[in-house]
Amino acid sequence: MITGQHLIEITYLIATALFILSLKWLSSPATARRGVWAGEIGMALAIIGTLLYRGIVDYKWVGIALVLGAIIGVPLGNVAMTAVPQRTALSHAFGALCVTLVGTAEFYLRTPDVPRFTMSVLSLEVILGSLTFTGSLMAAGKLQEVLPQRPITYKGQNIVNLGMLAVAIVIAVLLVLDPGRTVLYPVMILIALVFGVMLIIPIGGADMPTVISLLNSYAGLSAAAMGFVLDSKLLIVAGALDGASGFILSVNMSKAMNRSFTNVLFGAFGQVQTSAAAAQEQRAVRSATAEEAAAILSAANRVVVVPGYGMAVAQAQHRVRELYDALTKRGVDVKFGIHPVAGRMPGHMNVLLAEADIPYDKLLDMDDANPDFPQTDVALIIGANDVTNPAARNDPSSPIYGMPILDVDKAHTVMVIKRSMSPGFAGIDNPLYYLDNTLMLFGDAKAFVGGIVRELSGAAAHG
Amino acid sequence: MHTQVDLITSLYVFMLAAFIGFEVIRRVSPLLHTPLMSLTNALDAIAVVGAIIIAGERKTNMSTILGTIAIVAATSNIVGGFIITDRMLKMFKPSTKAPKQ
């Protein structure tokens, strides 16, 4: 006979299958939306199943909380596409908050009678949850620019951070040995919360893609740990999937920035290299006007646009779309070369360009774009800097030496839209700007691209 | 409470899910990495089921309050995460345009 408990387990089982299918369908843009529906159905089933649980004696607060959460969720789902990085960081914070609160409630309900294994994973759950909560809030604050974006570093930072983590782990061990020491629990949480803040303080904007991925992974792992504490296979699977996803993205991002994975795991990123900028000398650059740029672009056969965070800041993606239209109409083949760490989170540029209605098959990732640069007439760089720096390829003294870059310098002509000659975020001079085949287009990305579009349409009108 | 068998089973589940996760997510194109993150984030908010039980059981005032806040946090992730993922995916269109409706 099927009891109520069995029914709940069956909804969880189906939800687990739907979650895996959801991610599987996300692999291609053609089936991706089906993936969202699968996730939604799985989620609804699991929640309905849980509400049937006989142990629930009071639905009032559960109901109010579900409605309130939905009310908060709707605006968070409808933010502008440019705000997606901070929204993502914020949602990591919410996920981690949920996990930490549930873990804390479990601890106080069960203490002092907590088996050692359960206490170990519970400690892992709440430490990861707490540091992800404050760390993600910090990341969201930096991305939203309510907190200073400049990395803050001080001497012995890594020692202080690792020391704090070590203390938290020692407390966790003491709690595992004797879960009755309840006074230690809030201390452990507090240290983990402060650690999360300290971890993100030295992080600058350009490192955000790696950090967001890493926090994603932590949030997933803490949820999986919660699954062990509550003995919920569904949670273990969902947490493992999220953790794996964050892990893969972190590895991708760290490879794309040429950082070792241990470097990423310990959060020891974000050191600003200032030495290179100091040695900068005055060298001649060639600049061009929108009119000249338009003439070169319209004479080209193949153009590759390389967008960066500057395009997002200037909100230039819709102007870029107009440029794409104007050039495509003239028979120019326009594609986009997108570096994995361009922007503030993985895939950031793709979303902005897709929002501007640029077909996704024109968006090439780095490995697909690079072989084509030698046959490219114009590489147009909009708001990207370090990811195009040839020093990463040929100057072993450069701080970013070894980082994979887009080989824009191999194009016949390179055009760079940039506000001024000031070095990029990492403070590293870019030799690309002094090459003979490089033209600097000084100005705001949105205004300048708009200017080129006007020139192109004006020329068309005159025949 | 956990028995030894439950624990081993849970570890197997975790291991297999991690392998499936790696294999499935490796295939997701970099094109969709932002929606991938928002979708996994929404799915991760399945932690709401743990929060519902904690809040609904009303064992202590503290556990009820913590559970209730946890439900709010997780539900906002579920609703917001699915909405924004779908909004993003709707924007990705191929070149060969379908005839206008």
Instruction: For residue range A301-338, list pLDDT tens digits in order.
Output: 999 999 998 898 888 999 999 999 999 999 999 999 99
In a mutational test of the A interface, the residue from B12, B14, B40, B96 whose CB has the highest number of chain A CBs within 10 Å is B40
Which of chain A's residues have a Cβ under 8 Å away from the Cβ of B90? 33
Q: Which of A12, A87, A354 sits opposite B92 (nearest CB)?
A: A354
- Whole-prediction pTM value? 0.90
pLDDT digits (tens, 9 = 90+) for A423-448: 655 567 788 988 889 999 998 999 99
Q: Give the tens place of pLDDT for each residue, A119-159.
A: 999 999 999 999 999 999 999 999 998 888 777 777 777 88
pLDDT tier, A160 (very low <50, low <70, confident <90, very high otherwise): confident
For A335, the 3-state DSSP assignment is strand
In this complex, is the C-beta atom of A365 within 8 Å of any C-beta atom belonging to chain B?
yes
Q: Cβ(A252)–Cβ(A340) under 8 Å?
A: yes
Residues of B in contact with A307 (CB under 8 A): none
How far is B100 from chain A, CA to nearest CA, in Å?
15
User: Tell me, what's the ipTM?
Assistant: 0.92
Q: Give the model's pLDDT for residue A203.
A: 81
Q: Which residues of B, range 2-31, sit inside 8 Å of A by Cβ?
A: 2, 6-7, 9-10, 13-14, 17-18, 20-22, 24-31
Active site (catalytic) residues of A: 386
In this prediction, residue B95 carries a pLDDT of: 83
Neighbours of A142 (CB within 10 A): 25
Exposure letters B49-81 (e unless 16+ CB within 10 A, then b): bbbbbbbbbbbeeebbebbbbbbbbbbbbbbbb
With a pLDDT cut of 90, the percent of chain A lying above it is: 61
Name the helix (H) or strand (E) containing A246: helix A233-256
Beta-strand pair A378-382/A302-307? parallel
Chain A residue nearest residue B53, CA to CA: A56
- Show the tokens assigned to A442: 């000084």
Structure confidence at residue A274 (pLDDT): 43
Contact B47, A223 (CB under 8 A): yes
Q: Is A238's pLDDT higher than 80?
A: yes
* DSSP code string of A155-179: TTHHHHHHHHHHHHHHHHHHHHH-T
A460 — pLDDT class (breaks 50, 70, 90): low
CA of B78, closest CA in chain A: separation in Å?
7
For chain B, say whether A183 makes contact (Cβ under 8 Å): no
**pLDDT tens-place string over residues A72-131:** 999 999 999 889 999 999 999 999 999 999 999 999 998 888 888 999 999 999 999 999
CB distance B62–A105 less than 8 Å?
yes
Where helices occur in A268-308 by DSSP H, the ranges are 275-278, 290-299
* Span A179-197, pLDDT tens digits: 988 999 999 999 999 999 9
- Pull the structure tokens for residue A421: 């000659």
CB pairs under 8 A between A and B: 369
A32: pLDDT strictly greater than 70: yes
Does the beta-carbon distance from B82 to A56 stay under 8 Å? Answer: no
Residue B76 touches chain A, beta carbons under 8 Å: yes
* Least confident interval from A263-277, A357-371, B87-101: A263-277
What distance in Å separates the CA atoms of residue A148 and residue A263, rounded to the nearest whole number? Answer: 23
